[in-house]
Amino acid sequence: MFTSGKNIEDTKTYITSNQEGVKEEDIQRYNNIIDVLLAAGYFRVRIATLSPFDKVIGGLCWCISNSNVDVDVDVGFEEDSNIGQKIKVSEKVVNSLKRMKCPNKIQSFQIQGLDFAAIYEVLQWLVKKVFETREENRVAIKRYSELLFGRDYELPVDTEQTEKFQKALPYMNSVKDVYKPKRKYKRSDQINYSEWGHVQSVLLEYGREYKNLDKEQQAQQQQQQQQQALRRKSVKLDQAATQSTQLATPPQPEIDLDALKKNLTDTTIELSSMSVNKIFELHSEAIKKENEIYQKATEELTEKLPQEDVLHQLKVTQLHKQAQVLKNQYKEKKQEFEELKTKVEASNEELEKYRNYNDKLQDKLEQIAERINSNVDKEAYARIQKLVALNEALKKQDIDFRNYCKTQMAAYKEQTLLLESQMNQDANSDILSAHQADLLRIRQLRKLLSNKNKQVAILQRQLDEVPSGPELSQYERRFTDLHGQLALQFDETRKYYDTFNTLSETKKYLEMEDSLLNSISEYFQKSLVSKAKEYKPWMVGQVEKSVDAVRRNKEYVDKKLRDEKVKKDEKATKHQELVGIKRNYFRAVKDLESEYKKNEELRNKAKLVLQANK
Amino acid sequence: MNSLESVLVIEKDTNGDVDVVWAHPTVEDDQKDVVLQRFPLVNEALLESIGQGTNFLFSKYKDSYVYTFVQRNVVTNRVENVKVTDVGICVLSKEFFPEKHFDLLKVLTEIFISSNLDASKVQEAYLEVFCLGTVGSFNADSYDARKAKIGDLASIVDAFKEETVKIWTALLLKKRVLVYSDDVEELTKFVSSLPCLVWHRQHWDLMRPLVNLGNKNETTDLNVVGTYVAGTIDSSAQNNTKYYDLFLDLSNHTVLVAEGSTADFKLIKFHKELAEVLMSPDVKGDSQKLIRAIAVKTKELLAKLNTLKSNHSDQLTLELLENMNLNTDTLNFLYNTALSENMITGA
């Protein structure tokens, strides 16, 4: 399919020159068609030697066949076919397109005549269809390809995996088999049991005994467990086996499990009879003994009814225990009794002793009394007896009292010493130390207090520097007052200045006048005196000059006066305006006040009304 | 009067200290402690219950009877004793005769106060009484000793009616009885009358008219004696079941049997007969007659036991009683009675 070695560019089959007298547009369209076909996967268009019709028709057929639609058409293509054949082929293609239900209508002569425009539209639709079918069949095709691959070849990864499986498989099986029920015995003969018996025999083969619970109660089961406990001590092997497969539970007379068991042989052992015999010979005696024990145990147990036996035993043990406890108590009590008895005996002995002593004394007294009676006056004797007794008692009292006083004295002295020492200690050390401590504390506290006071004073002063509201308003008032005063002073001084200036000017003018008049008078006097005609005109000239000067001054001063007046007028008008504004302002304030009052009144009214409404 | 053992002079001063300032001839520390504990000015509970009127108390400790007399708010004009506020004199004696000792104490206190609290005068007076039997207006011979023994049984029977039988049982079987009352006088009188119920024994030692169960000396004394009739003003004593087998509450007239001893207090036919005797109208109100009647009845019981004993060659054992086929309560009662009367012989 591919032209190897050559550059892709070269193998491009674009028509660059007019081959069959086609237009530029057609060429373009044709190139488009080729692109589309290439993109779809029809590589035959690459082959340069094929005619455009070949490529086009080939492309269409390829797309149709790849669209997986059953068109049931047989297209035969020949190179260099004439128009009629080409028409036929084109007709077949058109028919199949119709079958495919292509929306774009095309006719056979268009294909044959290479009407690229129509062909292009059809081709677009076809290519779309091709992609859709590919999408649908992708997965199936892939698997099919894998299957084909797998028939003949195998990837190395897969071979490794299969080997691993092979190795792991026996282990998996063994793990699964751990908890599988294992068959232990095998039935040697074929006895026909009932269904239940059959079931039991099968279960026995697997090593489990299962009882019918309808006929037994749970209490019995417990007893059986106790029996097991008893039996486990006496159960021995009854098989000629080295393995110790224990019987799960002992046999019951329900169904003759013994009989069942006898029919079982251990499937785990695969010994020959020879080896079995050997084992027998070696352990025959031991086995016999154990067998005997076991049989005895089974006999004993199967004789009596199991329930009563165990109960009875329990009771017996309980009673034994109680008896033991009571015996212990009895022993203890007996011991106590024995002790008390010995004590009583001892005290009795003492009593006996005293009694004997007493008797002796009595005898002696009697003897003395007899002697006395014979000799002495009874009354006096009685009195003497009393007095002697009294004397003895008083003597004893005396001794006791003295001793008591001594002990009391010693005790009191001790106490006083103790108290005094305590007092001394307390008086001096405690009080002084407390005093010292208190003094120190006072000093410290005073220091703290003074510090605090300083801080307080500083802060107080700082606070005082800040003026409060009323102070500020006071200041303001004072400032305005001062300002007013200053203004007054200022005006006054200005007025003074002005008067001074004017007065100094008048003084100047008066001096000038004075000088003039003096000069005039001088010259006049001189002129009178000298009668020279020079002075007169000179004087006249002088006077005229001075008159001009004065006139000029006067004009100048008048001008000034006029200016000042103008200024004054201006200021007056301004003043009038400002006064007018001030008046307006006051009026506005008054209006505002009245409005406020009205507002207040209305508000109060509204409140009243609201309250009345509530 | 040689039943007197000792005399103690007790003072209370302005600091609130109460102490034995003088004793003659001697007094043991535990006796001193007990006397002070039972002194009204030390024991506030006693002070409350004694009221303001009475100032005489009697009780028993170990083998001696303790008679205490208190004189309050003593005024003297002796400078050294200006700090003394109250005075008490206590006499320890082997004889039980409250009235006699009361008069004696009054006289002694008189002497003490009039001598400006000079204890040596008390000592003199005490010795006088001890030797001669008289001091001042007191004369020991004018008192009939037998009178002391006849307690006021009639009031007991009136108070407890049929329950008196239980008390009698307790005393007969040598059990421990604890009596409670708010009023000390009533209490001590009651307790001192109780031994009359078992007149045939003449056993006056077991009475303990006033006991402070909180005091170790006193409880040791009780434990040593074993069987007693004790009185207390402590209302919580009822909870102290290790000190009694039978508890009497005088204010409620109730009898309470401790749990451990209920078996011994089961009443039998004999008790009913005794109850009838006690309640019969001809003995009502007369203590002497009551005592006699009870004594007679007790003697009947003891006579029965005695005949039984003599019938079996002076042997009286438990088996013998068991063989008589009595019911268990009667058997128990008879056996215990015989035991307490020391009639049981053999193991």
Query: Which pLDDT does position B347 carry in this prediction?
Result: 47
B154 inside domain: yes
Examine the pLDDT at A558 and tell me if it is beyond 80: yes
- CA A533 to chain centroid, in Å, comes to 135
Residues of A in contact with B24 (CB under 8 A): 397, 401, 404
The 10s digit of each residue's pLDDT in A235-267 is 444 443 333 343 433 444 445 555 555 555 554
Say whether B130 and A394 touch across the interface (CB within 8 A): yes
Percent of chain B whose predicted confidence (pLDDT) is above 70: 91
CA dihedral A480, A486, A491, A492 (to 10 degrees): 130
Please give the residue of chain B at the shortest CA–CA distance from A396: B25
Confidence band of A562 (pLDDT split at 50, 70, 90) = very high
Query: Which pLDDT does position A210 carry in this prediction?
Result: 63
**Shortest distance, CA B288 to any CA of chain A (angstroms):** 34
| Residue B144 or residue A14, greater confidence | B144
Query: Which pLDDT does position A566 carry in this prediction?
Result: 96
Q: What's the mean pLDDT in B319-331?
A: 75
What is the residue-averaged pLDDT of chain B? Answer: 79
HSE-up of residue A291 (Cα within 13 Å, Cβ side) = 10
Return the residue matching tokens 């329950």.
Answer: B163
Domain end residue (candidates: B224, B239, B265): B265
The residues near A228 (Cβ < 8 Å, ≥ 6 apart) are A249, A250
CA distance B129 to B121: 12
B329 inside domain: no
Query: Which pLDDT does position A545 carry in this prediction?
Result: 86
Domain end residue (candidates: B265, B300, B321): B265
Considering the domain architecture, whether residues B158 and B260 belong to the same structural domain is answered as: yes
CA distance A172 to A194: 39
Please report which residue ranges of chain B form alpha helices under DSSP H: 29-37, 44-50, 98-114, 119-132, 145-149, 153-160, 164-172, 184-193, 216-225, 269-279, 287-311, 318-322, 328-340
Residue B85 is classified by DSSP as: E
Task: Output phi, psi for A281, to 5 deg.
Answer: -60, -40
The 10s digit of each residue's pLDDT in A496-513 is 999 999 999 899 988 988
Considering the domain architecture, whether residues B143 and B53 belong to the same structural domain is answered as: yes
CATH number at residue B225: 3.40.50.11500
List B19's β-bridge partners, or say none. B11
**Shortest distance, CA B162 to any CA of chain A (angstroms):** 37
Say whether B24 and A403 touch across the interface (CB within 8 A): no
Considering the domain architecture, whether residues B51 and B63 belong to the same structural domain is answered as: yes
Confidence band of A68 (pLDDT split at 50, 70, 90) = confident
The residues near B87 (Cβ < 8 Å, ≥ 6 apart) are B9, B10, B11, B12, B70, B71, B74, B109, B112, B113, B117
The 10s digit of each residue's pLDDT in B183-225 is 777 888 888 888 877 777 777 777 888 887 777 888 888 888 7
Q: What is the ipTM of this complex?
A: 0.77
The continuous run of DSSP H or E covering B247 comes out as: strand B246-249
| Residue A358 or residue A178, greater confidence | A358
Considering the domain architecture, whether residues B60 and B189 belong to the same structural domain is answered as: no
Neighbours of A29 (CB within 10 A): 19
Residues of A in contact with B130 (CB under 8 A): 390, 393-394, 397
Considering the domain architecture, whether residues B124 and B173 belong to the same structural domain is answered as: no
b/e sequence A407-420, b meaning 16+ C-beta within 10 Å:
ebeeeeeeeeeeee
CA distance A525 to B62: 170
Confidence band of A561 (pLDDT split at 50, 70, 90) = very high
CA dihedral A44, A50, A53, A58 (to 10 degrees): -30
**How far is residue A46 from each of residues A18, A378, A582, B62, B137, measured CA to CA in Å?**
19, 180, 108, 143, 167
Instruction: Say whether residue A482 is in contact with chain B using an 8 A CB cutoff.
Output: no
Instruction: Say whether residue B130 is in contact with chain A using an 8 A CB cutoff.
Output: yes
The 10s digit of each residue's pLDDT in B86-102 is 888 888 888 888 888 88
Domain count within chain B: 2
Please give the residue of chain A at the shortest CA–CA distance from B131: A390
End-to-end alpha carbon distance in chain A: 107
Considering the domain architecture, whether residues B106 and B160 belong to the same structural domain is answered as: no
B297 inside domain: no
The 10s digit of each residue's pLDDT in A391-441 is 888 898 889 889 988 998 999 999 999 988 887 776 677 788 889 999 999
| Contact (CB, 8 A) for A137 and A68 | yes
Residues of A in contact with B344 (CB under 8 A): none
B125 inside domain: yes
Instruction: Say whether residue B23 is in contact with chain A using an 8 A CB cutoff.
Output: yes
Confidence band of B35 (pLDDT split at 50, 70, 90) = confident
CA distance A373 to B268: 56
- Listed ranges A41-45, A279-283, A573-577, B14-18; the one with the highest mean pLDDT: A573-577
Here the tokens at position B63 are 């083998």
Considering the domain architecture, whether residues B154 and B240 belong to the same structural domain is answered as: yes
B60 inside domain: yes
| Residue B345 or residue B39, greater confidence | B39
Instruction: Say whether residue A389 is in contact with chain B using an 8 A CB cutoff.
Output: yes
Query: Which pLDDT does position A253 carry in this prediction?
Result: 41
B79 inside domain: yes
Examine the pLDDT at A310 and tell me if it is beyond 80: yes
Examine the pLDDT at A225 and tell me if it is beyond 60: yes
List B248's β-bridge partners, or say none. B179, B255
Considering the domain architecture, whether residues B130 and B215 belong to the same structural domain is answered as: no
Examine the pLDDT at A10 and tell me if it is beyond 50: no
- CA B21 to chain centroid, in Å, comes to 27
Closest residue to B2, CB basis, from A393, A399, A401: A393
Instruction: Say whether residue A588 is in contact with chain B using an 8 A CB cutoff.
Output: no
| Contact (CB, 8 A) for B99 and B143 | yes
Considering the domain architecture, whether residues B121 and B200 belong to the same structural domain is answered as: no
Query: Which pLDDT does position A514 carry in this prediction?
Result: 87
CA distance A262 to A185: 10
Query: Which pLDDT does position A340 carry in this prediction?
Result: 94
Q: Can you give the pTM of this predicted structure?
A: 0.46
Considering the domain architecture, whether residues B154 and B121 belong to the same structural domain is answered as: no
Domain end residue (candidates: B108, B123, B147): B147
CATH number at residue B133: 3.30.450
Instruction: Say whether residue A2 is in contact with chain B using an 8 A CB cutoff.
Output: no
The 10s digit of each residue's pLDDT in B1-23 is 778 888 888 888 887 788 888 88
| Contact (CB, 8 A) for A61 and A45 | no
Considering the domain architecture, whether residues B184 and B220 belong to the same structural domain is answered as: yes
How wide is the angle at C-alpha B114 spanned by C-alphas B112 and B116, nearest 5°?
A: 75
> By residue range, what is the domain housing residue B251?
150-265
Neighbours of A581 (CB within 10 A): 10
Query: Which pLDDT does position A8 carry in this prediction?
Result: 46
**CA nearest neighbour of B18 among B91, B83, B112:** B83
What are the extents of the domains in chain A? 8-152, 185-211+225-239+249-303
B294 inside domain: no
Say whether B131 and A397 touch across the interface (CB within 8 A): no
Query: Which pLDDT does position A250 carry in this prediction?
Result: 41
| Residue B231 or residue A2, greater confidence | B231
Considering the domain architecture, whether residues B165 and B127 belong to the same structural domain is answered as: no
Query: Which pLDDT does position B83 carry in this prediction?
Result: 75
**CA nearest neighbour of B60 among B253, B224, B290, B248:** B224
| Contact (CB, 8 A) for B196 and B278 | no
| Residue A164 or residue A275, greater confidence | A164
**Shortest distance, CA A222 to any CA of chain B (angstroms):** 43
